[in-house]
Structure 1
Amino acid sequence: MNKSQWENNEEIKIFREYLRIPSVHPNVDYTACVEFLKRQAADLELPVDVVLAGLNPVVVIKWLGKQPELPSIVLNSHMDVVPVFPDKWTHEPFNADLDDEGRIFGRGSQDMKSVATQYLGAIRSLKANGHQPKRTVILTFVPDEEGGVTQGMANLIKSDYFRKLNVGFSFDEGISSEDETYDVFYAERTVWHLRLKISGTAGHGSLLLRNTAGQKLNYVLNKLMEFRESQVKRLEEDSNMDIGDVTTVNLTQLHGGVQSNVVPPLLEAVFDIRVAITEDLDALEKRIRDWCTEAGDGIELVFEWKEPYVAPTRIDASNPYWLAFKKALDELGVTTRQRVFPGATDSRFLRSFGIPALGFSPINNTPILLHDHNEYLRADTYLRGIEIYKKVIAAVANV
């Protein structure tokens, strides 16, 4: 296909329309997203609900199955996108520009408005061919996934409304692959955001005071960086591992001090820690607390975000949804790679309620540009993704 053919393709038009809605943090206004999705539901002749998850709306579209008493299949996506730095983009981030190579530029093109409209495109095609699934298929479009700790799905899943959906399995976002393979994510690391409040001796900057906050920070920071380096070495020494298989530690914020010649009584350091699924959470926390004790009295640990361990989704013969999903991809001749997601998605909330979930974005041979400048997705990759979803949605919904 050439540029004019892509521009006139109805599925591409729908995708680009969604990309043009600036549902960007902070202070997202979801009104335009909700109206867009309600129009999509009407076009598909499917019922739609708009419910609240916290303060913001969730759009729910239902495709009734032949046996609606069976557990349903959820196709989840989030409506919000991360902020942009417009001066770093070669295309306006909310214009959904299509270039001569077929690249569609826009915030959300990979993360993850493409997945949302690919779900819709797959269902549109299946319905046009007279297909009706055995299980009810439910599309959930949630808010606030990118906004921190108050995710829409975290609120939705606790509601009576969600419980009545009788969910048995869920799809959600993955990450693009830079080679021929497609990545499938069956688990996620545990997210910790840890603040250390370090108190110490204060005084004049010309003295060699003992037990200062800076000395204690230096000790704990060295220990955490040594642990970080051990994870780097694990990656370097085992080519079968990737970033999702190890624990990452990053110093993300430092606060303290009043001026250059005053030793401060308090310093604060914030760390983003993503704990590998093979790590003992209690043991790791104890190690960090022990390092703080060794550094000296006066260090307070505050977990600003401390998620519990969530068991991975089984990817073996015990999971019939996985078997159907994998068989469908095998029949398409698609090569997959099973991975632990390096970041965090709504799948972890579903897994925490015992619902098996897979992260999968049908994007390959594409640079990973989520949260990056000049985020784009090729039109041919997008349309191929609809064909892949047609196959896997039908397969899983007929388990």
Structure 2
Amino acid sequence: MAQVKASVSRFIEYLRIKTVPAQPGLRHMSQRSSSNRPQSLSLGFQSIEYVAGKPVVILTWPGTDPSLPSIILNSHTDVVPVFEEFWDYPPFEAARDFKIYARGSQDMKIVGHCYLEAVRVLQEQGRRLTAHAASEIGGHDGMCKFVESGEFKALNAGFALDEGMANPGNDLRVFYGERAPCWVKFRARGNVGHGSQFIEDTAAEKLTPIINHLMEFRQAQFDIFKTPNSDGSLRTLGDVTTTNLTLLESGVQQNVVPESALAGFDIRMTPTIDYIEFRKGLEDLGKKHGAEVEFAQFWDDNTVTKTDASNPFWTAFSGVMADLGISVFKEIFPAATDSRYLRKAGVPALGVTPLTNAPILLHDHNEFVTESEFLNGIDFYAKVIQAVADVE
């Protein structure tokens, strides 16, 4: 019981650190990891700032065979901002009312801290992993830079675990790939004049067919999304490419035909399509209608992790799920996580957050996890880490 209380207390302490970007909490977290390490866990420690103010903390537990590839346990510590007026409890106090309310509790501090508590359990049981285990705690400005670094190459990564998502249903959601962001802007330029006239070749005339084309594509993908699979199962967002018109800019005055007009789209591409071919199609669309095309963000790699017998890490992971009696639902993550950098670097990765029969509270007000979910997560990761680290 004392051990359980200590684990929960450490989790509460972690949740109370304000790791909102641009606040000192991220560096505080790094310093706390360094100062607490000697008296808690026998782990190697590094803290590196590839981007100033955004530390990447690398904790390592050497295995019995250093020649084997390591297992990466990835967790970002940064959290999104809060609107405190919509919270029932202060978002960084980790108040407890049968639930633990805190920003980042579900996304994804529960995962990162469960890693550490699971390692603690394994060490106290006298377990030794065959492969090296490394916990990397960073974010967009962490993993992106980390995979290009000498520190990452030194880890000789062979497999990774990362964040997933809660499921209101019974199945454990396991993400083996993710949709890639394509943020594109089309800017059209044309003739100007008084709003009372028929001005030809205007910016709006050029931009309208582009918007119409992408809205038709959006509807076609939405129709696919609403159509069940051949086995009757429902499709997920990861199965399709979503398109949303998110920016519209034009005009200086009501009675003036503007010189330019801009439309921006947030497109999330499913990895089952050819990303490069899709980008070329957007470039051709802009060229056809005389518009400039700018990609604010574009991810060009659609690698996914194999979830069959050809991947020994999947075999080990799914074996643990079978032993625990957990039903697994495999899917493509609807947004983007750090795993995309790992997969592009050749490291197979699975995204898992062990929360079932739980609401999805990513970025939501009153984000919470229960104490039992946290404690069950420790047991979950202790078994998973042991299994994947002992893959030969």
Settle same-fold status: TM greater than 0.5: yes
* Alpha-carbon separation, structure 1, partners of 2:319 and 2:105: 28
What is the aligned residue count?
385
Amino acid in the other structure paired with 1:51: I
What corresponds to 1:83 in structure 2? Answer: 81
What corresponds to 2:334 in structure 1? Answer: 342
What corresponds to 1:148 in structure 2? Answer: none
Amino acid in the other structure paired with 2:198: L
Matched residue of 1:30: which SS? Answer: helix
What corresponds to 2:268 in structure 1? Answer: 274
Q: 2:42 touches 2:61 (CA, 8 Å); kept in 1?
A: no
Task: Summarize the alignment of residues 17-32 of structure 1 with structure 2, pairs less than 5 Å apart.
Answer: 17-26=13-22, 29-32=25-28
What corresponds to 1:44 in structure 2? Answer: 41
Q: 1:254 touches 1:268 (CA, 8 Å); kept in 2?
A: yes
* Alpha-carbon separation, structure 2, partners of 1:91 and 1:215: 51
- Structure 1 residue 158 and structure 2 residue 148: aligned? yes
* Alpha-carbon separation, structure 1, partners of 2:23 and 2:265: 25
What corresponds to 2:203 in structure 1? Answer: 213
Q: 1:191 touches 1:305 (CA, 8 Å); kept in 2?
A: yes
Q: 2:105 touches 2:369 (CA, 8 Å); kept in 1?
A: yes
Q: 2:225 touches 2:237 (CA, 8 Å); kept in 1?
A: yes
Q: CA deviation at 1:65?
A: 0.6
- Structure 1 residue 121 and structure 2 residue 113: aligned? no
Q: CA deviation at 1:10?
A: 1.6
Q: CA deviation at 1:29?
A: 4.5
Amino acid in the other structure paired with 2:69: P
Q: 1:47 touches 1:61 (CA, 8 Å); kept in 2?
A: yes
* Alpha-carbon separation, structure 2, partners of 1:235 and 1:189: 14
TM-score, length-normalised on structure 2? 0.94
Residue number among 129, 132, 150 corresponding to 2:128 in the alignment: 132
- Structure 1 residue 263 and structure 2 residue 257: aligned? yes
Q: 2:180 touches 2:335 (CA, 8 Å); kept in 1?
A: no
What corresponds to 1:170 in structure 2? Answer: 160
Q: 2:147 touches 2:153 (CA, 8 Å); kept in 1?
A: yes
Q: CA deviation at 1:221?
A: 1.0
Structure 1: which 5+ runs fail to align? Answer: 146-150
- Structure 1 residue 324 and structure 2 residue 322: aligned? no
What corresponds to 1:60 in structure 2? Answer: 58
What corresponds to 1:351 in structure 2? Answer: 343
Q: 1:66 touches 1:135 (CA, 8 Å); kept in 2?
A: yes
What corresponds to 1:223 in structure 2? Answer: 213
* Alpha-carbon separation, structure 2, partners of 1:212 and 1:10: 67
Amino acid in the other structure paired with 2:264: V
Identity %: 41
Q: CA deviation at 1:86?
A: 1.5
Q: CA deviation at 1:16?
A: 1.5
C-alpha distance after superposition, 1:264-307 (max 9, x if no partner): 1112222111111111223323433343344x32x100111111
Matched residue of 1:11: which SS? Answer: helix
* Alpha-carbon separation, structure 2, partners of 1:377 and 1:215: 51
C-alpha distance after superposition, 1:46-79 (max 9, x if no partner): 2211122232311111111111111010101111
Q: CA deviation at 1:317?
A: 1.0
What corresponds to 2:282 in structure 1? Answer: 288
Amino acid in the other structure paired with 2:342: L
Query: Following TM superposition, where does structure 1 have runs of at least 4 consecutive aligned residues deviating by more than 6 angstroms?
Result: 5-8
Q: 1:53 touches 1:153 (CA, 8 Å); kept in 2?
A: no
Q: 2:276 touches 2:300 (CA, 8 Å); kept in 1?
A: no
Q: 2:167 touches 2:173 (CA, 8 Å); kept in 1?
A: yes
- Structure 1 residue 254 and structure 2 residue 248: aligned? yes
The structure-2 alpha-carbon separation of the partners of 1:8 and 1:328, relative to structure 1 and needing over 3 Å to count, comes to: closer
Q: 2:243 touches 2:268 (CA, 8 Å); kept in 1?
A: yes
* Alpha-carbon separation, structure 1, partners of 2:45 and 2:279: 44
* Alpha-carbon separation, structure 2, partners of 1:7 and 1:229: 54
What corresponds to 2:384 in structure 1? Answer: 392
Q: CA deviation at 1:26?
A: 4.3
Q: CA deviation at 1:82?
A: 1.1
* Alpha-carbon separation, structure 2, partners of 1:153 and 1:252: 27
* Alpha-carbon separation, structure 1, partners of 2:37 and 2:357: 31
Amino acid in the other structure paired with 2:77: M
RMSD value over aligned CA atoms? 1.8
C-alpha distance after superposition, 1:134-168 (max 9, x if no partner): 111111111x43xxxxx310101101111011111
Matched residue of 2:105: which SS? Answer: coil
Q: 1:74 touches 1:137 (CA, 8 Å); kept in 2?
A: yes
TM-score, length-normalised on structure 1? 0.92
Matched residue of 1:269: which SS? Answer: strand
Matched residue of 1:9: which SS? Answer: helix
* Alpha-carbon separation, structure 1, partners of 2:196 and 2:25: 53
